[in-house]
A and B are shown apart, each in its own frame.
Chain A
Amino acid sequence: MVITPAEIQTKLERILPTVQKPGRYTGGELNQVVKDWDSIETRLALVFPDIYDIGMSNLGLAILYELINHRSDALAERAYIPWIDMEAAMRRAGIPLYSLESKQPLSKFNIVGFSLPYETLYTNVLNALDLAGIPIYSNERDETHPLIIAGGHATFNPEPMYSFVDAFVIGEGEQVIYEIIDAYQEWKRSKSNRQDLPNNLASIPGVYVPSLYRVNYKLDYTVDQIEKLDDRANLPIRKRILPHLPPPPTHFIVPNIETVHNRIPVEIMRGCTRGCRFCHAGMVSRPVRERSVTEIIQALDEALGNTGFEEIGLLSLSSSDYTHITELVKAITERYYGIHLGISLPSLRIDTFSVDLMDLLKDSRHGGFTLAPEAATEHMRNIINKPVSTAQLLDTVKQIYSRGWTTIKLYFMIGHPDETLEDVKAIVDLCKAVLAQGHRAIGHRAKLNLGISTFIPKPHTPFQWMSCDTVEQIQAKQEILKQELRHRDIKLTWTDPKVTLLEAWLSRGDRRLADVVFRAWQNGAKFDAWQDQYNFDAWIQAFSDCHIDPSFYTHRNRTLDEAFPWDHINTGVRKKYLVKDFQLSQDFKTRSDCRLQCFACGILPTFADLRRVNPGESWTCPEVKSPMKEVANKSL
């Protein structure tokens, strides 16, 4: 017998007083949606595979939650991963993973959807299924179990999770989630058996049902060929996009406890035209689509009234590039003047225009000023296609310090392709020059925070053929920074190279990694994104148990003709374009912002039909004027 919500509630009464932050596990917040369980045809659980504090700030799930609950025949409830203490208490008390809204065990839902924005959540997915009493491997589940789906940026290479997830959503989920619910209902009404369900889903554009494909490997374990086993399945699986961004969600759940972001997030734009070669998001979220100022303001008005949040976040991959950014910032500061509203505007370009923008927001409760030069020499910036001159950076930071900000945060990335120790030393020199500007402007009140991340050659980017630095190389580079940047006004943070390595293995992985993920979880790996929980040895042991050499994934250069495990996933950006961009990088040549000139990345022919019926400035790509048929032929 499956445990009832009432039984779960009774057991919770006893254990909640004994765990840290019990507010994570109660639900019952303002704006949560609780529908009548028995009268709703299709029930979905949306799971963010990390703790509540982090998952509640995820915009993707907030969008889906609102959309699904908008349907009268479906409901969506939330679940997060219990922290270590709560998991132990739940297992002791026999409480399965449950939804916060109705306290229903996850196993009672029709569909369980996981958000996978990054790879270090994978073992938590397995742990969630286990805690829910749902078989972990897809092929061990039957019609009594929920359908397990997943989406998010990490699923542009779904292969390492292919054994556990029944269907992946590739790309934007807003429309496809409805189509999945429809297909599920159709399957249910037809009373077919469980095997037919994946087939029902497989023909939906953007849906990848891994069991309907076979991957053939060469003797060296590189991919030979991927073939589909069912006619209805898509090959390649082309990502979904919305031709026009829908109205933003405005009924955010207001948590009763502190979470990582306590604010209203509004996407002002999706996609990016900058073309930084290391940037996964910049490649997979094309084309750029913008929201109108009117639409953004209207959403903010509604969301502020619905939630009372004291901060808003204007989100995009590159805020300064949003066409109407000045108009938007002015409108917001005028409209919300005097109500103590914090306004965060992340991802600003390195120029004085950004300082002018932030100046307009001075009135709001702001923190420091963040910029991401990513590299310190012009040579390296050309390689990664983020051409900002040192003079421009120094001029910008001078402006920032002298206009009232005391702390600047700079993001750099080490481990770039062909990076030398000289390039790393240049980061030291540049940071010293930046701080000197601050000292000149405001004396020792000037502070500099440095976030040093490590490059990973992500799938679907122009650097996907590159190898990673070894742990030793990264450590040596970090050591230079730690030694040379010891200063009372500088705060340095960096990523553990072993965490980077895991992220690299998983993001570049093939189907063989699924068993490694399973073994690692069995060996105790979970919460891999948490430095204090990360268990490197569990992973090394897992690779060894599966007789796989992890360096196969991360420490070899690929030839341009190598087939990648993710080649059947089509982001709309052509491989030919990525190759060309990769070659340009090797010649230290940059490409400009593609708003200025279209480089034919492939997005336009892929989505010509969508662009054609959505002309005008909501897309930044050129318009498609040719009639429907002609373009279709050309793209072949």
Chain B
Amino acid sequence: MRIRITFSKTDAMRYTGHLDLFRSWERTFRRSGLPLAYSQGFHPQPRLNLACALPLGFTSECELLDAWLECTKPLQQIQQTIEAVLPPGLVIHGMEIINIQGPALQTQVTSVVYVITFLDDIPDLDERLQRITSSEHLPRLRRNKSYDLRALIEEMAFIPLHEGGNRKLRIQVSARESATGRPEELLDEMGIEFETTRIHREKIFFQS
């Protein structure tokens, strides 16, 4: 059976990269005793699929994992079994059964919502964002290829503050293959150092 897990990635897991996260999930399943399916061949790999790589240091409440199991069990039982052996930093929010023939997760992602928290007080933060929103194009280079950052940003707006605290910006960026908007590039464009912020992934949008 193929299951889809929605989970959070927080705390120390923030600094676990995509491949290492994959490994953490494999070990979680191995601890659970649930029979994970493996690929054929000389170097069998566990059949696990992650929706879309979360950059190192980001937290998330909406990560998605597809796992193929060589068993059929009630979903609730599977969830309980896995939750009992989860490593710190991973929290399961939901689980569903997916058509085994369905398309791969990665191909379905369209856009992603991030919340950027500014740890430092930046007096002209609104003006800096204004410069971005009002520009038509933001040409940049990524690995020697030019692209337009502005076109990748679908929405951006500050989250209203109720009782002080750090300012937060919510952005929605494109996350299609070869058209991925990155929050750290927006920050760079705003002249803000990545390490003076916290970035959290709030939502992943899919093709219906």
- A residues within 8 Å of B by Cβ? 13-18, 21-23, 26-30, 254, 256-258, 262, 304-310, 339-340, 365
12 contacts between A and B (CB under 8 A): A22-B57, A28-B13, A254-B27, A257-B15, A258-B23, A305-B33, A306-B31, A307-B31, A308-B29, A308-B31, A309-B27, A340-B44
Question: Nearest Cβ in chain B — how far from A102, in angstroms?
Answer: 13
Per DSSP, chain B at the interface is: helix
For A365, give the chain B residue with the smallest CB separation.
Answer: B43
Nearest 8 pairs of A and B residues by beta carbon: A28-B12, A308-B27, A308-B30, A308-B31, A30-B87, A23-B15, A17-B195, A26-B12
Q: Find out whether the CB atom of B119 lies under 8 angstroms from the CB atom of A13.
A: yes
* B15, B27, B29, B33 — most chain A CB neighbours (10 Å): B15
Given contacts A14-B196, A306-B31, contact A256 B44 (CB under 8 A): no
Whether, in the assembled complex, B24 has its beta carbon less than 8 Å from a beta carbon of chain A, the answer is yes
Chain B window 84-126, contacts with chain A (Cβ cutoff 8 Å), 1 for yes, 0 for no: 0101110000000000000000000000000000010000000
Given contacts A256-B20, A307-B31, A308-B29, contact A15 B87 (CB under 8 A): no
Cβ–Cβ < 8 Å partners of A15 in chain B: 195
Chain B window 2-25, contacts with chain A (Cβ cutoff 8 Å), 1 for yes, 0 for no: 000000000111111101100110
- What's the Cα separation between A15 and B19 when bound, in Å? 23
- What's the Cα separation between A362 and B89 when bound, in Å? 36
* A14, A308, A310 — most chain B CB neighbours (10 Å): A308
- What's the Cα separation between A309 and B88 when bound, in Å? 16
Q: Find out whether the CB atom of A307 lies under 8 angstroms from the CB atom of B12.
A: no
Q: Find out whether the CB atom of A257 lies under 8 angstroms from the CB atom of B20.
A: yes
Given contacts A17-B194, A26-B12, A30-B88, contact A256 B24 (CB under 8 A): yes
Cβ–Cβ < 8 Å partners of A16 in chain B: 15, 57, 195
Cβ–Cβ < 8 Å partners of A310 in chain B: 26-27, 30
For B120, give the chain A residue with the smallest CB separation.
Answer: A14
* B33, B46, B87 — most chain A CB neighbours (10 Å): B87
Given contacts A15-B195, A340-B38, contact A28 B11 (CB under 8 A): yes
Q: Find out whether the CB atom of B15 lies under 8 angstroms from the CB atom of A18.
A: no
- What's the Cα separation between A14 and B57 when bound, in Å? 11
For B11, give the chain A residue with the smallest CB separation.
Answer: A28
Chain B window 31-56, contacts with chain A (Cβ cutoff 8 Å), 1 for yes, 0 for no: 10100001000011010000000001
- What's the Cα separation between A254 and B30 when bound, in Å? 13
Cβ–Cβ < 8 Å partners of A28 in chain B: 11-13, 88-89
Question: Nearest Cβ in chain A — how far from B89, in angstroms?
Answer: 6
- What's the Cα separation between A340 and B70 when bound, in Å? 14
Question: Nearest Cβ in chain A — how far from B70, in angstroms?
Answer: 10
Whether, in the assembled complex, B28 has its beta carbon less than 8 Å from a beta carbon of chain A, the answer is yes
Size band of the interface chain B makes with A: 20 to 34
Q: Find out whether the CB atom of B17 lies under 8 angstroms from the CB atom of A308.
A: no
Q: Find out whether the CB atom of B17 lies under 8 angstroms from the CB atom of A257.
A: yes
Excluding A256-B16, A307-B31, A308-B27, 8 further A-B contacts by CB distance (< 8 Å) are A27-B12, A28-B88, A30-B88, A257-B15, A257-B16, A257-B17, A310-B30, A340-B38
- What's the Cα separation between A340 and B48 when bound, in Å? 15
Q: Find out whether the CB atom of B28 lies under 8 angstroms from the CB atom of A308.
A: yes
Given contacts A13-B119, A28-B12, A257-B15, contact A308 B85 (CB under 8 A): yes
- What's the Cα separation between A448 and B15 when bound, in Å? 38
Cβ–Cβ < 8 Å partners of A22 in chain B: 15, 56-57
Q: Find out whether the CB atom of B16 lies under 8 angstroms from the CB atom of A18.
A: no
Question: Nearest Cβ in chain B — how far from A313, in angstroms?
Answer: 16
Q: Find out whether the CB atom of A304 lies under 8 angstroms from the CB atom of B15.
A: no
Cβ–Cβ < 8 Å partners of B198 in chain A: 13
Question: Nearest Cβ in chain A — how far from B5, in angstroms?
Answer: 16
Cβ–Cβ < 8 Å partners of B88 in chain A: 28-30
Question: Nearest Cβ in chain B — how far from A108, in angstroms?
Answer: 21
Q: Find out whether the CB atom of B87 lies under 8 angstroms from the CB atom of A29.
A: yes
Q: Find out whether the CB atom of A256 lies under 8 angstroms from the CB atom of B15.
A: yes
Given contacts A13-B119, A308-B85, A365-B43, contact A26 B15 (CB under 8 A): yes
For B31, give the chain A residue with the smallest CB separation.
Answer: A308
**Of A29, A304, A339, which contacts B12 at CB under 8 A?**
A29
Q: Find out whether the CB atom of A308 lies under 8 angstroms from the CB atom of B26.
A: yes
Cβ–Cβ < 8 Å partners of A309 in chain B: 27, 30
Q: Find out whether the CB atom of A307 lies under 8 angstroms from the CB atom of B27.
A: yes
Question: Nearest Cβ in chain A — how far from B192, in angstroms?
Answer: 13
For A100, give the chain B residue with the smallest CB separation.
Answer: B12
Question: Nearest Cβ in chain B — how far from A367, in angstroms?
Answer: 10
Cβ–Cβ < 8 Å partners of A257 in chain B: 15-17, 20
Question: Nearest Cβ in chain B — how far from A447, in angstroms?
Answer: 16
For A30, give the chain B residue with the smallest CB separation.
Answer: B87
For A14, give the chain B residue with the smallest CB separation.
Answer: B195
For A28, give the chain B residue with the smallest CB separation.
Answer: B12
For A24, give the chain B residue with the smallest CB separation.
Answer: B15
**Of B15, B43, B56, B87, which contacts A254 at CB under 8 A?**
B87
